Amino acid sequence: MPDVVLRHATVDDLDALVRLENRSFDEDRISRRSFRRFIEQPRDRLIVAELDGELAGYCLVLMNAATRLARIYSIAVSPAARGRGLGEQLIRAAERDAVEADRIVMRLEVREDNAGAIALYRRLGYRQFGTYRDYYEDHGDALRFERRILFYEPSRAFTPVPFYPQTTEFTCGPAALIMAMAALDEDQPVNTLEELRIWREATTIFMLAGHGGCGPHGLALSAWKRGFEASAWISQEGALFKDTVRNDDKKRVLELVHEGFLHDIGGTGIALHHDPLTLEGIEAALLDGRIPIILISTWQLNRSRVPHWVTVCAIDDQFIYLHDPEIDVEMGETVADKQYFPVDKRVFSRMSRYGRNQPLQAAVIVGPRRPA
């Protein structure tokens, strides 16, 4: 097969790009003026494929200035060049460009009736996460796909953290704690029974709807009970999550549970700080061989305002790397999507606050086992 040359488009490609666009699409076409604008926009990428010296395909990638997302806005391959893998090569080139621009996730839209393109995206590791209704000029629907493209490169500066997925919808805290403890002690049990034991010890009894979640006091106590050093960083005093319940009797139960946690902490060496844990504090803990688990709001991840525990595994100049124990199998997520997930530091600063008026910031730092 003739060699394929992939390169960034120039203004000299405008005529060929417009011809390809007109052959490839009956509607929603990119104009010559728009192609020129994309070529001259330094943030976006317009990649072309040459075959036998002729322009045979293109892929247009948009880079959102406010997020770490990249998006394949349009991709086309000449009918004469189809079946030669140009589409896959263009997508891979687009992903490489996006990674060089420090983008974490690549997204795209595809017509719901384009079976061939959907099959290609799925084969390349993209998963559907939503639908746009009435997206195209002919009122057709678009399926939304995404793939994580930026992955953590292990650093010897930080302790490797094994991954453990939560097995219930309410045990993110125990799962995050298990990962932290397993990073520090290879004999730490890593199973559902241990996960549920910790939940029974650390639950706040009531939170939102359904089963209660775990708070920082209880998780710190669970780590201490298992022989680990522990400290808790909590920006508020008093019983947590009281605003999530309306019943006065339930509020009183939360207060009693909180008083019990404080009583038990008083008999330990757990350091209790009523200050938020800073990025500098997170980095210092990781470099010291300790593992933080952090309470976040999942609004930045999935537009849900549920409090959620994650394990912090590493940090660099741009990103905080998290193990997120929640894997949505129905949405096609795998461990690879949630292990060492990079979050921009600025985004993380917003994520690590739960609530609106007086947002709660909570963290537990787990240290190596105490001397016997």
Q: Is the dihedral of CA 210, 215, 217, 221 positive or negative?
A: positive
Candidates 3.90.1640.30, 3.40.190.10, 3.40.50.300, 3.40.630.30; CATH matching 4-148: 3.40.630.30
* pLDDT, tens digit, 9 for 90 and up, residues 146-202: 999 988 887 889 999 999 999 998 999 999 999 999 999 999 999 999 999 999 999
| Domain boundaries along the sequence of the chain | 4-148, 172-369
* pLDDT, tens digit, 9 for 90 and up, residues 247-256: 788 788 888 8
pLDDT of residue 113: 92
Q: Which residues in the chain show pLDDT less than 70?
A: 1-2, 66, 205-211, 244-245, 299-305, 331, 372
Beta bridge partners of 142: 111, 132
The residue whose two tokens read 């728009």 is: 34
pLDDT of residue 334: 78
Tokens of 339: 């292990």
Rounded Cα distance, 193 and 342, in Å: 29
Rounded Cα distance, 149 and 99, in Å: 7
Nearest to 216 by CA among 252, 182, 169, 180: 180
339 burial via Cβ count (<10 Å: 0-12, 13-18, 19+): buried
Torsion of CA 320, 231, 240, 208, to 10 degrees: 50
Rounded Cα distance, 265 and 273, in Å: 12
Rounded Cα distance, 42 and 36, in Å: 12
pLDDT of residue 156: 85
Domain 172-369 part of CATH 3.90.70.10: yes
